[in-house]
């Protein structure tokens, strides 16, 4: 019965795709998606908001997994279920697609459609073709097909541009403009800080430390052994401020945040809808292997690595960079983290950070979303 349902669903998708492709392409329609329909966020969100600012007569469609994911969509953006008949119709008739993940389920792309791929972060661990043997075969097939359809990849650095050329089965145009999601991190928008502080009920004089580790392949949280209260006290002592720690687990393990102990000074931020708003408003970040470190440090604020399972994680996919050579102070235990905070030197940190960003050719202009919006409008000839 399960196999039959799957076959019927596949047949419906194929039939809908074929029929929808008989309709003309709408030059005013843009379809965006983030993390396979997980919600409104990441690079596509900031491109969509730039499009809204332009005030053009555009039809902006956002693909979601279900109706609850459409709750956070602002006025001017229509939420549609990804695999629904309506969702497939919009994909088949849109002039432009924007996504930060693979569209492996695509049957085909029509000749006059434009597909912009933003991806979802600066790579620390190896990705795509560089770890092809470790990836699911179905994913690899879908990734190769997806790359064939992409017209533009948006890159945040010379390093990532080279990765896209060598590891994405891709040989077309790359726009090295920066990550649209990081424009607000670079600008340090005070309105964003007011929004975040208001959401969590924080006073203006509070120093916020965001702990945001990435997920593990086995989905466990055993490696998340940060002593929150001890870390909070050492930051208070080092910076002479009232400190609150925001804990944000990766979306893949977000439900496990319910098992952690929180109070007024240790706050669960796992369900806050936009990671970049947190990064823009927080004073310090602690992570392990997440690309968010490279995003947050664009603000030039302190970022620490707390990683207790380096060898195990390295065995999964390995890294593009030696962990010890990154500009972020590294601690493999709570004792070491206390020492790194106590001995933190802002001048030395900034020197290492600038050297690293220079070495990878990081783009730090803060206008990536605007450039992407401009590219989309140029692609929509009739607008």
Give the Å distances, CA to CA, from 233 to 123, 210, 230, 237.
32, 14, 5, 6
- Report the percentage of the chain scoring pLDDT > 70: 97
Examine domains 12-178+366-379 and 189-360 and report if their fold is the same.
yes
List of residues 6+ apart from 168 with CB closer than 8 A: 128, 129, 143, 147, 153
Give Dmax (Cα) for the chain: 66
Looking at residue 256, its pLDDT comes to: 79
Rounded CA-CA distance 356/359 in Å is 5
**DSSP notation for 14-48:** HHHHHHHTTSPPEEEEEEEESGGGT-S-HHHHHHH
Q: Is 246 exposed, middle or buried (0-12, 13-18, 19+ CB in 10 A)?
A: buried
pLDDT tens, 16-59? 889 999 999 999 999 999 999 988 999 999 999 999 999 999 99
Looking at residue 53, its pLDDT comes to: 94
* Helix/strand/coil for 117: strand
Rounded CA-CA distance 210/282 in Å is 7
pLDDT-derived band at 280 (thresholds 50, 70, 90) equals very high
Rounded CA-CA distance 244/235 in Å is 9
- Looking at per-residue pLDDT, the higher value among 227 and 10 belongs to 227
Show me where the domains of the chain are located: 12-178+366-379, 189-360
* Mean pLDDT (whole number) for 333-358: 98
Looking at residue 4, its pLDDT comes to: 65
Rounded CA-CA distance 231/210 in Å is 11
Give the Å distances, CA to CA, from 24 to 27, 91, 112, 338.
9, 12, 10, 61
Chain position carrying tokens 């990536």: 368
Q: What sign does the CA torsion over 134, 137, 139, 145 have?
A: positive
Phi, psi of 263 (to 5 degrees): -145, -165
Give the Å distances, CA to CA, from 50 to 61, 102, 187, 277, 298.
14, 23, 15, 16, 21
Looking at domain 189-360, what is its CATH homologous superfamily? CDP-glycerol glycerophosphotransferase, C-terminal domain (3.40.50.12580)
Q: Are 306 and 288 in contact (CB under 8 A)?
A: yes
* Mean pLDDT (whole number) for 358-383: 92
Chain position carrying tokens 């109070």: 263
Q: Are 17 and 92 in contact (CB under 8 A)?
A: yes
Rounded CA-CA distance 373/319 in Å is 33
Looking at residue 316, its pLDDT comes to: 79
Rounded CA-CA distance 316/310 in Å is 10
- What CATH number is given for 12-178+366-379 in this structure? 3.40.50.11820
Rounded CA-CA distance 131/142 in Å is 15
Secondary structure of 164-198 in the HEC alphabet? Answer: HHHHCCCCCEEEECCCHHHHHHHHCCHHHHHHHHH
Question: For the packed helices 346-360 and 158-167, what is the interaxial angle rounded to 10 degrees?
Answer: 40
pLDDT tens, 79-127? 999 889 999 999 999 999 999 999 977 778 999 999 999 999 999 999 9
- Looking at per-residue pLDDT, the higher value among 317 and 80 belongs to 80
Rounded CA-CA distance 4/27 in Å is 38
Rounded CA-CA distance 153/167 in Å is 13
> Half-sphere exposure of residue 66, counting CA atoms within 13 Å on the CB side?
1
* Helix/strand/coil for 303: strand
* Helix/strand/coil for 248: coil
Give the Å distances, CA to CA, from 255 to 66, 179, 252.
18, 28, 8
Looking at residue 360, its pLDDT comes to: 98
Please indicate, yes or no, whether the overall pTM of this predicted structure exceeds 0.85: yes
């Amino acid at each position: 019965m399960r196999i039959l349902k799957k076959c019927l669903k596949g047949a419906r998708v194929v039939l809908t795709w074929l029929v929808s492709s008989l309709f003309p392409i709408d030059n005013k329609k843009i379809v965006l998606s983030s993390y396979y329909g997980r919600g409104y966020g990441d690079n596509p969100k900031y491109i969509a908001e730039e499009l809204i600012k332009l005030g053009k007569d555009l039809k902006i469609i956002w693909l979601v997994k279900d109706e609850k994911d459409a709750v956070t969509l602002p006025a001017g953006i229509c939420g549609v279920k990804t695999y629904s008949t309506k969702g497939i119709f919009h994909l088949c008739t849109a002039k432009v697609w924007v996504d930060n993940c693979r569209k492996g389920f695509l049957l085909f792309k029509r000749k006059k459609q434009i597909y912009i791929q933003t991806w979802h972060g600066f790579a620390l661990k190896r990705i795509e073709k560089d770890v092809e043997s470790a990836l699911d075969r179905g994913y690899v097939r879908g990734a190769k097909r997806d790359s064939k359809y992409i017209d533009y990849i948006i890159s945040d650095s010379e390093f990532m541009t080279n990765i896209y050329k060598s590891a994405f089965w891709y040989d077309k145009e790359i726009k090295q403009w920066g990550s649209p999601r990081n424009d607000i991190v670079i600008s340090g928008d005070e309105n964003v800080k007011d929004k975040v502080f208001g959401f969590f009920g924080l006073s203006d004089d509070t120093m916020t430390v965001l702990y945001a580790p990435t997920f593990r392949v086995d989905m466990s949280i055993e490696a998340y052994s940060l002593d929150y209260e001890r870390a909070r006290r050492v930051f208070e002592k080092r910076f002479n401020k009232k400190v609150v720690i925001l804990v944000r687990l990766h979306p893949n393990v977000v439900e496990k945040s319910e098992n952690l102990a929180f109070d007024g000074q240790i706050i669960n931020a796992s369900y806050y809808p936009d990671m970049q708003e947190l990064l823009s408003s927080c004073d310090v970040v602690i992570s392990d292997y997440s690309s968010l470190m490279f995003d947050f440090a664009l603000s030039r604020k302190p970022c620490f690595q707390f990683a207790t399972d380096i060898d195990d994680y390295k065995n999964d996919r390995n890294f593009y960079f030696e962990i010890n050579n990154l500009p972020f102070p590294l601690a493999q235990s709570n004792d070491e983290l206390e020492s790194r905070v106590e001995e933190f030197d802002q001048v030395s940190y900034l020197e290492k950070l600038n050297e690293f960003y220079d070495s990878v050719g990081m783009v730090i202009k803060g206008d990536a979303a605007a450039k992407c919006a401009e590219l989309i409008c140029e692609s929509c000839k009739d607008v």
